[in-house]
Amino acid sequence: MASFGDRLAAAVESKDSVVCVGLDPRWQSLPKRIIGNVDSADLPAVAAATELYCREIIDSVASLAPVVKPQAAFFELLGPWGMQALYSVIQHARHAGMLVLLDAKRGDIGSTAEGYADAYLGKESPWQCDALTVNPYLGDDSVQPFIDVANDVGAGVIVLVKTSNPGSGFLQDQQVGSVKVYEKMADMVQAQALASCGASGYGNIGAVVGATYPHELSGLRNRMPNAWLLVPGFGAQGGQAEDVAGGFDRRGGGAIVNSSRGIIFAYQKPEYSQSDWQDAVFQAAADMREQLNQTRRSAGTKKI
C-alpha cells in the first residue's frame, strides 16, 4: 500500500479539498428524524440511530472531503453496540472513498502501545483505520510503537503537538532549555516524517496543531516541513479561514482542517436552518471547502 502521506496528498488533490469532517455524534444534537421515538437509555437503539446518522453524513460529504474523523468517545459511551456502530461507520467511509482518521488519542508504553497500534493500524487490524491520533506526552517511547506499525503498513500517526484547547499551554508552552515543549515535540515529529517521506514530500507521521493558535501554527509549519498537519478548532471553536493560512505550505497543501459541529450540526445554524439536515451538511462542507481553498491558494502565493 502507498504511504499515508502520499495517499492523503492524492486525496486532497483529487477532491480539491482540505476539509476533514469530524464525526462527534452527540445524541442530544441529532436531528429529530434520526432520534425519532428512541429512548436514550436504550443503548442498542441509540447506537443504531447514531450509525445511521454518521453514514448519512458520510454520504453527504464524500464528494467534498478527503478525510472523515470519527471521535471514538461518542461511540465508546454506547457500549459494545457503539463499537459495532463505529466499525460500520469506518467501513462505510472507506467504501465511499474517504480516508479514515480515528480520533482516539491513544498513548501508552511497551506492549500496551504495541497492542493499540496493531489494533487500529496493523496488518490484521479489525478496524482498518488509515490513521490514528496519538498522545505523546508519556514520552517518545510511547509513540515509537505506533510509528513502527504505521511505517510497516503505510498508515498514519497524527501526534498531538499544540492542541486547540485553552489549557494546552499549561504543559505544551513550558520552556525546556531553548525551546518550548511543543517545539521539542514538533522536532520529533519532523524527524519521523522526514524518515517516512514519500513522493508527495510528506511522511506518515503528522501533527495536531490548533487553528486557535495561528501564530504558533505558522511557526510549526516551518518547523515540520515534511509533516501533515491536522488543524482542529475551525468554526465552532472560533478558528476562521484566515487563522489556518499559516498551516499550508507554498503549494497551499500540507494541512487538513477539521470541523465537527460546524458541519454535522449545520442544520442548527441560521444560515442553513431552512434546509433538510443532509442538505445543510452538504452545503456547510461545500462552503468550508471554498473558504479554505481561497485561503490556501492565497497563502501558497504569498509563500512562493
HSE (CB half, 13 Å, CA atoms) of 20?
25
Q: Could you give the angle at the alpha carbon of 239 between the alpha carbons of 221 and 189, nearest 5°?
A: 25
Cβ–Cβ < 8 Å for 245, 271: no
What does the alpha-carbon distance between residue 302 and residue 279 come to, in Å, rounded to a whole number? 35
Grid cell at residue 10: 492524492
Q: What SS3 class is residue 161?
A: strand
> Cα-flanking dihedrals φ and ψ of residue 114, to 5°?
-60, -40
Kind plus residue range of the DSSP H or E element containing 65: none
Residue 112 contacts residue 119 (beta carbons within 8 Å): no
Please confirm, yes or no, whether 15 is among the known catalytic residues: no
Q: What share of the chain is helix, strand, coil (3-state, %, to 5)?
A: 55, 15, 30
Of 291, 162, 167, 300, give the one whose Cα is nearest residue 219.
Answer: 162
With contact defined as beta carbons under 8 Å apart, do 187 and 159 qualify?
no
| Residue reference for cell 494541512 | 255
| Active-site option among 15, 105, 162, 184 | 105
- Of 92, 110, 9, which Cα lies nearest the Cα of 55? 92
Q: Distance (Å, rounded) from C-alpha 221 to C-alpha 246? A: 7
Q: Which residues are catalytic?
A: 105
